[in-house]
Structure 1
Amino acid sequence: MQPHHLVARAGRWYPVAWEPGRRDWRIYRADRMAVRSPGGPRFTRRELPGGDAASFVAARFKGSQGADAWPCQAGVIVHLPAGGVLPFAGDGIVEAVGPDRCRARLGSWSWNGLAAALLRFDADVEVADSPALRRAFAAVAAIATSISCLLRSFL
């Protein structure tokens, strides 16, 4: 590997490096690495996509190959006050649209993951702008039904 930066995130250190064998940027966990001696051949430093190592790591952790953005994003109306959603919205955007409803724009690594994340609010959710999220809610409902049937057979 050809090291570029060392980024701290969530209590861990992550070296960001170019991997010549894969012809791609890679992120490693420093606590899982061992020093090799000698260190390897010299190399010419490359430019990291986007230029900022912390944003690059954040984007990769979200499953994005480009900007620091979730690959699956959607706008929804959550039937809860904004104050009840905001602490759990992570890097999402939440704005009040009334005393008991808010508009939220959230993201996830997958549509099913986003649907599941929205279910944690235990409130009605209106999908504002994403047919893919509507399909994901249907898929998550089918999974929940299957699990429910399976559990009933054991009880």
Structure 2
Amino acid sequence: MADTGNRTLRLLSLMQSRRHWAGGELADRLGVSLRTLRRDVDRLRELGYPVEARPGLDGGYRLAPGVALPPLVLDDDEAVALTVGLQAAAQTAVAGMAESSVRALAKVVQVLPARLRRRADALRAVTTTAAWSGEETVDPAALVTVAQACRDTERLRFGYAPAGGEPGERLVEPFRLVALGRRWYLVAYDLDRGAWRTFRLDRLTDPGSTGARFAPRALPGGDAEAFVREGVGVRSSTVAVEVRVEAGADEVRRSIGQWMTVEPDGPGRCTVRTLSDDLSWPAFAVGRLDAEFTVVAPLELRELVGAWGERFGRAAARAADGSRVTAPADAPR
């Protein structure tokens, strides 16, 4: 039975690695007869995997798209690559990607063998990820620990250095992780203070689960994101940004595709879209491109770019001593 189960997992891994397999080639890879292969394929179907068979000389098997994502089987290298990739994605500024990446990372790390975890940590240690700005970054390991504590309703202990306050140790009942702007926040019930609090993860050190379970409390208002926004004074809604850039989509995507959606809009032109609760960073992102651009929406971004342009123009015309700089007569205009 063990051999059958191992072979079924091996078959699943092979079918997920290639779109189409000839029956004979697949049987050879598994070291079984075609008849046994057919039984193994039927077993996968019983488990809910949509395996399609095509008869004939060019026939074989393929794993078809299903109505839901089935469990994936990864080899060692794939598991390490997935872990490192999710760690990097957890710090991205793409709307919605960071939180999903942390949830997926928590699931992968939980079942990752120690030898593979060491490989993933070693690879991450020698890899540098360029930050969007000079803001503090969050250790992915801390993100995973906090996410797992939220999921498992286990009390969490960590060091915390609040802005303008004395550092100290906190014991909390974690409720939700919230990605807001380019920062992570933990919404939790502070047991020492007897109140709900918001904690910035870049100010949090050495988080560790105590192993003590708790019954979840009701968050006032029930909305963790709204609770964080109110606590940190961030606007309650994001703004849709659309900018038309006079440059090819591939060129623009290489520069800002990590943070924005870039779509072709004719030869040598593209449209850039994103959602933001701070218009200064999309203004900077498109402004640093070596290309002309037009702000389609919102009006506030157009006004911000205009104000920046006027201020930069005054700065360019001003000498270090505050006097005006006179351009040479033959200077380009």
Larger strand share, 1 or 2: 1
Deviations for 1:3-58, whole angstroms, at most 9, x for unmatched residues? Answer: 224689xxx9864325698x7662332763578xxxxxx874236637xxxxx5xx
CA distance in structure 2 between the aligned counterparts of 1:80 and 1:16, rounded to whole angstroms: 42
| Matching of residue 82 in structure 1 with residue 256 in structure 2 | no
Deviations for 1:87-116, whole angstroms, at most 9, x for unmatched residues? Answer: 313342211012210011124443333222
Structure 1 unaligned regions, length at least 5: 36-41, 51-55
Larger helix share, 1 or 2: 2
Structure 2 unaligned regions, length at least 5: 1-171, 208-213, 326-333
Match in the other structure for 1:38: none
Match in the other structure for 2:274: 106
- Contact 2:249–2:264 (8 Å) recurs in 1: yes
CA distance in structure 2 between the aligned counterparts of 1:14 and 1:128, rounded to whole angstroms: 32
CA distance in structure 2 between the aligned counterparts of 1:31 and 1:129, rounded to whole angstroms: 35
Return the TM-score normalized by structure 2: 0.32
Match in the other structure for 1:137: 305
TM-fit CA distance, 1:135: 0.5
Deviations for 1:47-102, whole angstroms, at most 9, x for unmatched residues? Answer: 6637xxxxx5xx96xx5646xxxx23321111111111223133422110122100
2:223 aligned partner, one-letter code: P
- Contact 1:112–1:140 (8 Å) recurs in 2: no
CA distance in structure 2 between the aligned counterparts of 1:108 and 1:94, rounded to whole angstroms: 15
Identity across matched positions, percent: 24
- Contact 2:241–2:276 (8 Å) recurs in 1: no
Match in the other structure for 1:16: 187
TM-fit CA distance, 1:139: 1.1
Change (3 A) 1:33 1:140: same
Q: Which runs of 4+ in 1 moved over 6 A?
A: none
CA distance in structure 2 between the aligned counterparts of 1:91 and 1:85, rounded to whole angstroms: 11
CA distance in structure 1 between the aligned counterparts of 2:272 and 2:291, rounded to whole angstroms: 13
Q: Secondary structure at the match of 2:218?
A: coil
Higher relative contact order (CA 8 A, sep 6+): 1
TM-fit CA distance, 1:128: 1.8
Cα-Cα RMSD:
4.0
TM-fit CA distance, 1:121: 1.0
Q: Secondary structure at the match of 1:110?
A: coil
Match in the other structure for 2:199: 27
Select the structure of larger CA radius of gyration: 2
Change (3 A) 1:104 1:142: same
Say how many residue pairs are matched.
132
Change (3 A) 1:118 1:30: closer
- Contact 2:249–2:270 (8 Å) recurs in 1: yes
